[in-house]
C-alpha cells in the first residue's frame, strides 16, 4: 500500500501577469504547476487597458484565474487617460476582481508624476464606485502615495492592496491605519530583505496576502530566473517562520485574507 501524499497548502497568487510572453507561451503548464504546488487561484493583472480583452480571455478560459485591470503608473504617460466610467464598465465582468494596478513610480518615470497622480485618483474613484479593491504599485513615491491614498479615504472609504510591498515602514503604517492590506512578494524571501520582513512581522496577520508578480521577482531558489505562480509556495515557506507558523497555517491565513479583500473571487470559488 503506497503512503498517502502530504496535503498541499491552500495558496493564492494574488498578483501575476499571465499574459506576458514568458508565461502565456506555456500557460496550461504554468497553471498545472501552480495547482501541483497548492496554488489554487491566481489573479492576473492587466497593466494597459488595450490588452484587457486578452487578459479577460485568460480568466474566462481558466477557472483558477481571475483578473484585474488598470493603467500602470510607468505607462500612464503613454496611454489614453482612463475614465472612471470605463473602469466601472469593465468591473461588471464576473471574473473582474480589482482595480489596477495603478499607483506612483518615481524611480524611472518621475518626470511623469503629474499624469501618474491624475491616473491614480481616477482609479481610486473607480474602486470607491465599484466596491472592488484598489491594487497599488508604489516605488520611490512614499510621501505622495500616502497623501493621495489618504485624500481619497477622507472622501469615501475603499479597500486597497499595497501590491509587492517593498516601501518603508512609514507607508506601511499609514496603509495599515487606513485598513489596507500588504502583499508579500518574493522580495521578502531574499536574504538581504530582513528590514522588509520586519515590516511584515509588525503588521497584523489578517492584513497580509501573497503574490509572485510573475514573471518578475522569483524567490529563492529560483531568484534571477523567470517567476511563475507556483513559486508563491517558496515565498510562503520562507515567511511562515517569521510568524511562528507552519507553511500550511500561513497559507490558510493568507488565503482567508485574500477572500476578505477579494470577495468576488471568494464567492466564485465557493460557487464552483
In the predicted model, what is the mean pLDDT of the chain?
A: 96
| Residue 2 domain-assigned (yes or no) | no
Is the pLDDT assigned to residue 1 strictly greater than 60? no
pLDDT at 95: 97
Question: Looking at the domain assignment, is residue 62 inside a domain?
Answer: yes
Q: Looking at residue 269, what is its pLDDT? A: 81
Query: Is residue 163 one of the residues assigned to a domain?
Result: yes
Q: What's the average model confidence in pLDDT over 21-46?
A: 97
1 within some domain = no
- Provide the pLDDT confidence category of residue 3 given band limits of 50, 70 and 90: low
What CA–CA distance (Å, rounded) separates 54 from 143?
A: 35
pLDDT of residue 199: 98
Query: Looking at the domain assignment, is residue 155 inside a domain?
Result: yes
Instruction: Determine, yes or no, domain membership for 204.
Output: yes
**Is the confidence at residue 246, as pLDDT, over 80?**
yes
Does 207 score more than 60 pLDDT?
yes
Look at the chain and report how many structural domains it folds into. Answer: 1
Q: Is the dihedral of CA 54, 60, 65, 71 positive or negative?
A: positive
Return the percentage of the chain with pLDDT > 90, whole number.
95
List the Cα angle 223/226/230 in 5-degree steps.
Answer: 85
Torsion of the alpha carbons at 39, 89, 162 and 239, rounded to the nearest 10: -10
For 21, 38, 142, 229, the CA distances from 12, given in Å and listed in that order, are: 22, 8, 27, 8
Q: pTM of the entire structure?
A: 0.96
CATH number at residue 194: 3.20.20.140
Distance CA 157, CA 118 (A): 19
- Asked if residue 35 is part of any domain, the answer here is yes
Task: Judge whether 263 lies within some domain.
Answer: yes
C-alpha to C-alpha distance for 125 and 127, rounded to whole angstroms: 5
Residue recorded with cell 499574459: 19
Place of cell 494597459: 48
Note down the domain range covering 174. Answer: 11-271
Amino acid at each position: 500500500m503506497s503512503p498517502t501524499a502530504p496535503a498541499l497548502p491552500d495558496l493564492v497568487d494574488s498578483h501575476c501577469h499571465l499574459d506576458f510572453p514568458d508565461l502565456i507561451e506555456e500557460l496550461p503548464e504554468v497553471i498545472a504547476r501552480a495547482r501541483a504546488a497548492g496554488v489554487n487561484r491566481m489573479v492576473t493583472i492587466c497593466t494597459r487597458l488595450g490588452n484587457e480583452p486578452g487578459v479577460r480571455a485568460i480568466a474566462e478560459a481558466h477557472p483558477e484565474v481571475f483578473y484585474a485591470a488598470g493603467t500602470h503608473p510607468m505607462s500612464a504617460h503613454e496611454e489614453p487617460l482612463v475614465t472612471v466610467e470605463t473602469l466601472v464598465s469593465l468591473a461588471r465582468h464576473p471574473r473582474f476582481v480589482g482595480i489596477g494596478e495603478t499607483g506612483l513610480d518615481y524611480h524611472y518615470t518621475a518626470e511623469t508624476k503629474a499624469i501618474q497622480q491624475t491616473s491614480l485618483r481616477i482609479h481610486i474613484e473607480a474602486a470607491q464606485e465599484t466596491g472592488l479593491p484598489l491594487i497599488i504599485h508604489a516605488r520611490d513615491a512614499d510621501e505622495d502615495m500616502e497623501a493621495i491614498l489618504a485624500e481619497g479615504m477622507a472622501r469615501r472609504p475603499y479597500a486597497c492592496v499595497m501590491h509587492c510591498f517593498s516601501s518603508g515602514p512609514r507607508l506601511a503604517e499609514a496603509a495599515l491605519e487606513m485598513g489596507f492590506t500588504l502583499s508579500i512578494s518574493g522580495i521578502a524571501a531574499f536574504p538581504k530583505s530582513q528590514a522588509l520582513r520586519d515590516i511584515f512581522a509588525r503588521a497584523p496577520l489578517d492584513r497580509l496576502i501573497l503574490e509572485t508578480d510573475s514573471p518578475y521577482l522569483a524567490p529563492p531558489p529560483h531568484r534571477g530566473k523567470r517567476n511563475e505562480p507556483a513559486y508563491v509556495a517558496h515565498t510562503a515557506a520562507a515567511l511562515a517562520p517569521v510568524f511562528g507558523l507552519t507553511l500550511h497555517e500561513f497559507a490558510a491565513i493568507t488565503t482567508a485574507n485574500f477572500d476578505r479583500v477579494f470577495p468576488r473571487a471568494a464567492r466564485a470559488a465557493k460557487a464552483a
